[in-house]
Amino acid sequence: MSELTDAPSKNDLRTAALARRQALSAAERDAAAAAIAARGLPVELTADAVVSGYAPIRGELDPHPLMQALGARGARLALPAVEQPGQPLRFHAWQPGDAMIRSPLGIDEPRRDAPELIPDILLVPLAAFDTLGHRIGYGAGYYDRTLEALRAARPIVTVGLAFAVQQIAAVPAAAHDVALDYVLTERETLNFRSR
């Protein structure tokens, strides 16, 4: 807590949400990923749409069941890579079973010789989210920079993936924070596009 206010800081909110996420059992995690994959995306999947997911870390909701379902429907799949610290993420083609490389941050990423793709739909990991579509990440700002750059170039749909226990009352959003279009949890689909 800050000395000037009783409102919890972003770090406090992140820590509490991550603790709730870590408390979930493996069975709860698997069931949540399966429920989201069965429900699918809240937007129409166009022919040859590029959908980028992520390699889950630290107990994040696993996007692979959803990505496999989307790939079976014709989506081209991609995963992000940190190619330069402090810069937006880059996206490379990926298919289940592809060889991965371990980044300096300890995250599995696609090989750099895989074709670079620009996503139409971006599945976004998060630590916490609120009812306005604001998210708390891990503090490095990679997704904020990436979303800003992608949206400046073309329309893109952003879909946060999270467990319901990661929802909080309000994210103390800063001017540089970019709101998501949707958040999918095992319980519901939250639509923020009309806000």
Distance of CA 26 to the CA centre of its chain: 20
| 136 among annotated binding-site residues | yes
- Residue 137 counted as an annotated binding residue: yes
**Which is nearest to 56 in space by CA: 89, 28, 80, 35?**
80
Asked whether residue 191 is marked as a ligand-binding residue, the answer is: no
* 142 annotated binding-site participant: yes
| Residue found by looking up tokens 């976004």 in the block | 124
Q: Which of 172, 52, 191 is nearest to 120 (CA)?
A: 52
Whether 138 has a binding-site annotation, put simply, is yes
139 is in an annotated binding site: yes
Residue 11 annotated as lining a ligand binding site? yes
169 is in an annotated binding site: no
Give DSSP secondary structure letters for 48-117: T-EEE-----TTPPP-HHHHHHHHHTTPEEEEEE--STTS--EEEE--TT--EEE-TTS-EEE-TTSPB-
d(CA 72, CA 10): 38
182 has binding-site annotation: no
Which residues face 76 on adjacent strands? 50
Instruction: List the one residue out of 100, 149, 107, 99 whose CA is nearest residue 125.
Output: 107
Under 8 Å between Cβ of 117 and 154: no
Q: Is residue 133 annotated as involved in ligand binding? A: no
Give the helix/strand (H/E) hosting 159: strand 157-161
Question: Residue 141 annotated as binding?
Answer: yes
14 labelled binding-site residue: yes
Q: Binding site: residue ranges?
A: 10-14, 60, 135-143
Q: Binding site for substrate: residue ranges?
A: 60
Q: Binding site for ATP: residue ranges?
A: 10-14, 135-143
